[in-house]
Structure 1
Amino acid sequence: MRYTLLVVSCLWTAAAFGQDPIKVGNVTISGSLRSRTEIWDYFQGAANNDYAFSGNIFKLSFAQTAKKVDWQFELAAPFLLGLPNDAIAPAPQLQLGLGGNYFGANSARRHAAMIFPKQGYLRFKGLFGDKDQSLRVGRFEWMDGGEVTPKDATLAALKRDRVNQRLIGPFGWSHVGRSFDGFEYKASKGAITYSVVSALTTRGAFQVDGWGNLKTGFSYGSATGQVGKGKNVGEWRALAVYYQDWRHVLKTDNRAAAVRLADMNNIRIGTYGGHYLHKIESSAGIFDFMLWGMLQSGKWGRQDHRSNAFDLEAGWQPKVMAKLKPWLMGGVTRTGGDNDPTDNKHGSYFQMLPTPRPYARIPFYNMMNNQDIYGILALRPHKAVTIRSEFHSLSLSNRNDLWYVGGGAFQPWSFGFIGRNTGKAKSLANQWDTSIDWTINKNWSITGFYAYVDGKTAMRAIYPNDQNAQFSYIELNYKF
């Protein structure tokens, strides 16, 4: 406890250095502090489902930009305060909200803190005399889709919120996050950008120790192109990912426990697909649509793996209520589920290493064996204020498979995904949520969030006492 309080005191002091990055010669020193109070009223189970805790992370970065080589070294110090020590129930209920996840992942401590290198890399620019080629080597944060940002503002926002980090991401919404140890190569030829990344996954996400990496890794290649101009523009991406997990931990799937215990073989999965975004401006407003789809094949331990996923979405920014700048969106996501736990085929779509939260704002589900029919309304009443509200009708794609939760590998001894058997009940829940983001100035911002979940038949099979849940938080961000 004394160590934690010392860390908190030092970090708040560091945040008071100034309102702008510090320059020491050619080195830029910058940092950020995020503090979030989470309030959980999870589905009622055989443990505490109603609690609050404080999750925080401070980052301090040293960076230099030169003509041929850039470098960055960043330290992170997550500190968790007041974690619930009674929010983990016996199976199948397990962790009742993310407070239970953090407590269990940090050696059953109510207060936990650590300092570790979040990033440390060199970026070589102008390879082979070509200014559009670069190579980054070391530890870095990375997300699939983030290799290119469209110049068009609508496409850029759509890609940021509805495409990026569905497969692989830094899990930045968690209080620790994850990084990758490896390399990233990028090259641009005309309107097309090519990207190749190969890396190992670091520890982190829910455990404050982010020092080492894991026996999980991936190789990723993509080509991203821009099409059209003016009021009629689009972007496409084609990608392939090879993912391998050789930790020999107990896999989460719908087979019997004894069968899973006897299968510690590696996971080796290839994922192939891409996305297409398009925007059209008309007299009725701005219309957009998004198509994202993946096919998977490979080995799930001893099983053959085959699955798929798609998301189809459309949006409209009408010219009415111009002061509010409304943006209406709606779509459907569907991913493969496994139909037969006794055969030699694994059909559950595997999300690998995502950042689940942008697509599950109260993260009691992810994109595995999931069908999500959703609607979104975003308002911008002021340039510094964004209001966003979402509705999700959630169900399992296949009733013979599990209800999956989690965001991928984050420590050597646990798989990273949890599955619950709903007894072939398929309807999961309806979810409503609202967030308000206020950018106070260039250094400070604040977010408020509230979500309500109306549990359905699948939820009743796991939580018979109360299938409804609520989640809210207040988050303060400071950067210099």
Structure 2
Amino acid sequence: MKGPLFYGLTLLLLASIFYVHASNAVSFSENLKNHVSGGVSINFRNELWNTFQKQDSDTDRTYDFFLIRARAFIDFDWEHVSVHVMGQGVKAFNFPENGAFGPGVLYFNANDQKTGPGNFQFVEAYIHLKNLRGFYLKGGRMGFKDGGQVLYKDSPKLNWVIKKRLSERLIGNWDWTLVGRRFDGGSGGYSNQNFDFNLMGANVTFSGFDIDDGLWKDLDTVVVLGGAFTVKEGVLIENTQFQLFNYYYFDNRTPAINLAGDDIKINTTGVSMVGAYPLGPGEIDTMLWFAFQLGDFGTLDQRALAFIAELGYQFTSTPWKPWLRLGVAYASGDGDPKDSDYGTFFNMVPTNHKWYGYADTTAFSNIVDLYNQVLLKPHKRVFLGIEGHLFWLASDNEVWIGGSGPFNDSAFGYAFRNPVPGNDIETFLGGEVDITLSFKALEHLILQAGYSHFFGAEGVQAVFDGEDQLDWFYTQATIPFTLGK
């Protein structure tokens, strides 16, 4: 690609030319001042890992590393057009040279085995045409979150479920990693009071763990395209949104062909429902999601399905406002490796850190995840979350799969973890407990800490026969502020 800088400068020039005819009574500089805003977010995070390990391995299962990311953006916004540009500087310290497992290993290998890579990257640069009798169009370097196309002005609980529990299941920005992920392409559609129809198509960028080339290159042969039809809340059922979606994934990189034998071409079709309703002394919320896949996983015929069901209740008038949630997530695994069908659900390019345990051991492929959440608000500036997961493989004929999608041309993006020689696939992986604490210390300072422990069972022991327990601890400080409008 020509580079995000080219896109950004071109879009800014177009916006300036388009609006230079503004009223003679107002100078161009004054007109710009009334339509410009921006912001900066600086993030510091330290992660300490004590990971799984294979027997008789000389790898290091205990390591820590430090990450810094500073993002800045500027928006030019008028009634029918807006221009958005975002850049970031990233720097890492102390990646492990011989790690046993976890993101430290992925960062180190994705950056020519450097322990402290850094870079400057253009994250987003797009022009957005809007308020055109319901039609809208966006093009350039952009973020995209499947399922999150529609939010509501007066439904904060419904918005929370959409943003935190629905969006990015298949296509996401993956911003937990240092680099994040973006898409070079476009999206557009039509929206009114009753429904929203959205289409998108894009190349996926180098991203995630690849600091050297992340957001400077496209995965030119990884393409996602598709769309969603959303029936807005209140149209069919009060406080309930329905969505029908279809997304297509294409990948013919060398790692994909080496794994699957040919191009990967998968079409995912599904439906979702989210709702939030007052009930008794609080509110009840729900999320349902179902999808099936057809296409080609290399030389095999893709035939897979997945579903998610969640139910929650928050006591809104009780101290700490306890919010209790339960859920199950199922993604099929291949039942017969000898036939011509491939039954393992393919996860595409999601943001999996949000979903299947914060230790990021598991993708939404060949998995059954039973989980619960306890969300507490002991103070208006403090949030406490406690989550528990139990994991099984959906099929004992398919291995344990982890990852969150492709991030460069060298790695497939998903790890297929075979048992060590002499061991069979075991379905029960174990459980995970996640504890997160967030404190808004100042207007422009947010402090966070988290701890996760994975209690490995026989499914983990079959793969990591040396150490089947995992611990992860992180601390994070974020300094955000905005300028302008």
C-alpha displacement at 1:380, in angstroms?
1.1
Gapped regions of structure 2 (runs ≥ 5):
1-30
CA distance in 2, matches of 1:463, 1:413: 24
Q: Do structure 1's residue 309 and structure 2's residue 332 form an aligned pair?
A: no
Aligned counterpart, 1:167: 170
8 Å contact 1:248–1:266 — kept in the other structure?
A: no
- The gaps in structure 1 that reach 5 residues or longer are 1-22, 89-95, 252-259
Aligned counterpart in structure 1 of residue 139 of structure 2, from 112, 137, 140: 137
For residues 150-205 of structure 1, the C-alpha deviation after alignment (integer angstroms, 9 at most, x for no partner) is: 34121111121111101000101011101000011032122211111111100010
**2:18 alignment partner in structure 1:** none
Give the Cα separation in 2 of the matches to 1:87 and 1:307: 34
Separation in 1 of the partners of 2:280 and 2:413? Answer: 48
**Mapping of residues 348-367 of structure 1, within 5 Å:** 348-360=344-356, 361-367=358-364
Matched, 1:100 2:95: no
1:91-240 equivalences in 2 (<5 Å):
96-127=101-132, 130=133, 132-150=134-152, 151-208=154-211, 209-210=213-214, 211-214=216-219, 215-228=221-234, 232-240=238-246
| Percent identity of equivalent pairs | 27
Cα deviation for residue 366 of structure 1 reads 1.5
| 1:75 and 2:81 correspond | no
**For the Cα contact (< 8 Å) 2:275–2:285, is it kept in 1?**
yes
Aligned-CA RMSD value: 1.8
Letter matched to residue 217 of structure 2: G
- Of 39, 43, 61, the residue aligned with 1:34 is 43
Given that 1:232 and 1:281 are in contact with CA atoms closer than 8 Å, whether structure 2 keeps it comes out as no
CA distance in 2: counterparts of 1:227 and 1:205, whole angstroms: 34
Q: Residue 186 of structure 2: SS of its match in structure 1?
A: strand
The one of 66, 71, 75 aligned to 1:63: 75
* SS at 2:113 equivalent: coil
Partners of 1:373 and 1:32 in 2: how far apart?
35
Q: Please list the CA deviations of residues 403-437 of structure 1 after superposition, one character each: whole Å capped at 9, or x if unmatched.
A: 01111111012111001123221100111111011
* Structure 1 letter corresponding to 2:287: M
How far the C-alpha of 1:278 sits from its partner, in A, is: 2.0
- Over residues 303-360 of structure 1, what are the superposed CA-to-partner deviations in whole Å (9 max), with x where a residue is unaligned? 100100001111111367x121011000111111012222211111001000000003
- Return the offset for 1:67: 2.2
Distance of 1:250 and 1:72 partners within structure 2? 34
Q: Distance in 2 between matches of 1:69 and 1:362?
A: 41
Q: Is the 8 A contact 1:264 1:301 kept in 2?
A: yes
Assess, with a 3 A threshold, how the Cα gap between structure 1 residues 247 and 385 changes in structure 2: closer, same or farther: same
Question: In the TM superposition, what is the alpha-carbon distance from 1:284 to its structure 2 partner?
Answer: 4.3
Aligned to 1:50: 62
Equivalent pair of 1:318/1:326 in contact (CA under 8 Å) = yes
Q: Of the candidates 404, 407, 425, which is equivalent to residue 404 of structure 2?
A: 407
Check the 8 A contact 1:369/1:397 in 2, yes or no.
Answer: yes
2:321 pairs with one of 320, 325, 330:
325
Residues 248 and 265 of structure 1 are in contact (CA less than 8 Å); yes or no, is this contact kept in structure 2?
A: no
Code of the residue aligned with 2:42 in structure 1: it is: L
User: Normalising by structure 2, what TM-score?
Assistant: 0.87
Per-residue CA distance 1:251-270 (angstroms, 9 max, x = gap): 5xxxxxxxx56x54211111
Equivalents in 1 of 2:89, 2:355: separation in Å? Answer: 26
Q: Which amino acid aligns with 1:478?
A: I
Q: Is the 8 A contact 1:249 1:264 kept in 2?
A: no
How far apart, in 2, do the equivalents of 1:80 and 1:284 lie?
Answer: 47
Give secondary structure in 2 for the equivalent of 1:87: coil
Aligned partner of residue 341 in structure 1, secondary structure: coil
Q: Distance in 2 between matches of 1:50 and 1:441?
A: 33
Deviations 1:106-151 (A, max 9, x none): 1000000111211111111233xx1x32111100111111211134
Q: Is the 8 A contact 1:303 1:344 kept in 2?
A: yes
